[in-house]
Amino acid sequence: MFSDNPSEADGSEVLRPVDAGEQGPVSQTDDDNRSEIREAIDRGARVMVASIPLPTNGPLSEADKRAVRENTERIRRQFKVKYSEMARQLGSGCSDSAISMVLNGKYPSPDDTLLRRVNAWCESYVRRQESIRTEGIATTGVVLAVRALAEYGKAQGCIVVGFGPAGIGKTEAAKVAATEDPSSAYIRLRDTHLSPAAFLRLVASAVHQSTEGGASRLCDAIVDKLKNSHRLIVCDEWHKADRRIHEVVRDLHDETGCPFLLLGTKEIYTRLQKTRSSRGEAIYDQFFSRVGWCLDLAKLAADKGGSRPLFTEAEIRQIFNSGKVRITRDGIQFLQALACSFGLGCLRTARRVFEMACRVARQKNVPVDRMMLHKALIEQAVPHGADAALVERMVEDSAASIVALAG
């Protein structure tokens, strides 16, 4: 998640985006530089930097298996990656014991599929380590879960879906996943993108392809650009997509082999899962058969099994550690409970409440505490004249759930 940006309230310099009218003319050199960067990204997406070339189908030879094992162990030692960390990143169907047995040649079942996943993980992991990290990002549970989805999608070459309530940080997590893989493309679906042609123009723009022409021409151009590139396409706000857009993604996935990461509210899962038991929904059923992993981002697993809060206290400290104001322990706990309160906007509301409390704290030169945040929440979330008891009860229930999970 992103930490607070400097604001004018404390005298910090604020960087203002330049309006289109203020920008000078684009020179030919600028165009050439951009074209060179795009070509480098396109080439880089098609060149393996850390994995072993393997046949796409059929059983692996013993030489291929040995090469994958040796290469994986080299990367694991180089970056000091534990089997448990590999299992978490590989996601569904993997455990640290299974990975250990596969890499030591002791897996009791055919290991071709798992070795292919491990080989793809090597490529993705090294690319992520070599990418430039964005400053000011907290590695929350949602970020880790979305990252695991991205890794699984790239390893399996499939469509992956993450869903959860508004305000838990899906968009920020999606941008982190896209930032860590420079060859990936990030798009955010809007209501104006709900025709096949409009959606294809959005994808074409994201992969730096021509946006001219109708749907058929756009689709052909995108397929030519992305075929066999294995580039990850991250799609945010996917709950807005109708069956026509699902059909377009299915076609792009089938013809290019590119993995897609789709993120949105629970409507995604409800729509797809409902059609699995309904008739007359062949399109959605065909789409769902290409989904390799569908993950509820509001139900995060702890590192050692069981469940964990949506945001831990340590993550809340990292998110709200702006360096401008101090926060008391009870203030941190209140922000955690608020960020974990489904139906109140979660982290998005917690940020607004924190910003309101910060103004008071700066004026009084005191830390932000629970009482200050509580007053800000009532001002923010409760209409004038309405009963605040329901909002307060939701935060109290969230706090009780956090305590229960800790216990």
Measure the CA–CA gap between 359 and 344, rounded to whole angstroms.
Answer: 22
Query: Mind listing the domains of the chain with CATH numbers?
Result: 62-130 (1.10.260), 141-296 (3.40.50.300), 313-406 (1.10.8)
Q: Any idea which of 147-156, 161-170, 259-268 has the lowest mean pLDDT?
A: 147-156
The dihedral built from the CA positions of residue 206, 208, 214 and 218, taken in this order, carries a sign that is: negative
203-245 pLDDT, tens digit per residue, is: 999 988 889 999 999 999 999 999 888 889 999 999 999 989 9
Q: Which helix (H) or strand (E) holds 301?
A: none
Helical spans, DSSP H, in 80-111: 83-90, 96-103
Give, in order, the Cα–Cα distances in Å from 171 to each of 2, 125, 377: 11, 22, 23
Question: How much is the pLDDT for 164?
Answer: 93
**Residue scoring higher pLDDT (143 or 24):** 143
Query: Phi, psi at residue 149, to the nearest 5°?
Result: -60, -45
DSSP-derived letter for residue 308 is -
**Residue of 80, 79, 91, 83 lying closest to 145 (CA atoms):** 91
Question: How much is the pLDDT for 152?
Answer: 84
**Residue of 338, 356, 358 lying closest to 348 (CA atoms):** 338
pLDDT at 341 over 80: yes
Q: Which helix (H) or strand (E) holds 185?
A: strand 185-188
pLDDT at 6 over 50: no
Determine if residue 109 is left, alpha or beta; phi over 0 gives left, psi from -120 to 50 gives alpha, anything else beta.
beta
**Residue of 60, 68, 148 lying closest to 102 (CA atoms):** 68
Question: How much is the pLDDT for 270?
Answer: 83
Q: Do 382 and 391 meet the contact criterion of CB atoms below 8 Å apart? A: yes
Question: How much is the pLDDT for 237?
Answer: 95
Q: 3-state DSSP: the chain helix, strand, coil percent, rounded to 5?
A: 55, 5, 35
**Residue scoring higher pLDDT (129 or 136):** 129
What single string gives the DSSP state of each residue in 218-263?
HHHHHHHHHTTT---EEEESGGG--HHHHHHHHHHHHHH---EEEE
Question: How much is the pLDDT for 17?
Answer: 37
**Residue scoring higher pLDDT (272 or 373):** 373
Structure token digits, residue 256? 């290019």
Question: How much is the pLDDT for 362?
Answer: 85
pLDDT band at 297; cut points 50, 70, 90: very high
Question: How much is the pLDDT for 200?
Answer: 95
pLDDT at 272 over 70: yes
The Cβ of residue 14 has, within 10 Å, a number of other Cβ atoms equal to: 9
| End-to-end CA, the chain | 26
Structure token digits, residue 74? 């080299």
Whole-prediction pTM: 0.71
Q: Do 151 and 126 meet the contact criterion of CB atoms below 8 Å apart? A: no
pLDDT at 387 over 90: no
Question: How much is the pLDDT for 22?
Answer: 41
**Residue of 153, 178, 154, 173 lying closest to 163 (CA atoms):** 173
Q: Which helix (H) or strand (E) holds 115?
A: helix 112-130
97-120 pLDDT, tens digit per residue, is: 989 999 999 998 888 888 988 888
Alpha carbon 184 to its chain centroid, in Å, reads 12
Q: Any idea which of 79-88, 328-337, 376-385 has the lowest mean pLDDT?
A: 376-385
pLDDT at 285 over 90: no
Question: How much is the pLDDT for 393?
Answer: 92
Measure the CA–CA gap between 324 and 314, rounded to whole angstroms.
Answer: 18
**Residue scoring higher pLDDT (206 or 281):** 206
Taking every pair of Cα atoms in the chain, the longest distance, rounded to a whole number of angstroms, is: 74
Structure token digits, residue 324? 């401008």
The proportion of the chain whose per-residue pLDDT surpasses 90, expressed as a percent, equals 36
pLDDT at 138 over 90: no
Question: How much is the pLDDT for 245?
Answer: 94
Question: How much is the pLDDT for 275?
Answer: 57
The Cβ of residue 395 has, within 10 Å, a number of other Cβ atoms equal to: 19
Measure the CA–CA gap between 306 and 341, rounded to whole angstroms.
Answer: 20
**Residue scoring higher pLDDT (228 or 35):** 228
The proportion of the chain whose per-residue pLDDT surpasses 70, expressed as a percent, equals 80
pLDDT at 16 over 60: no
pLDDT at 130 over 70: no
Task: Calculate the average pLDDT of the chain.
Answer: 81
DSSP-derived letter for residue 57 is S
Question: How much is the pLDDT for 14?
Answer: 35
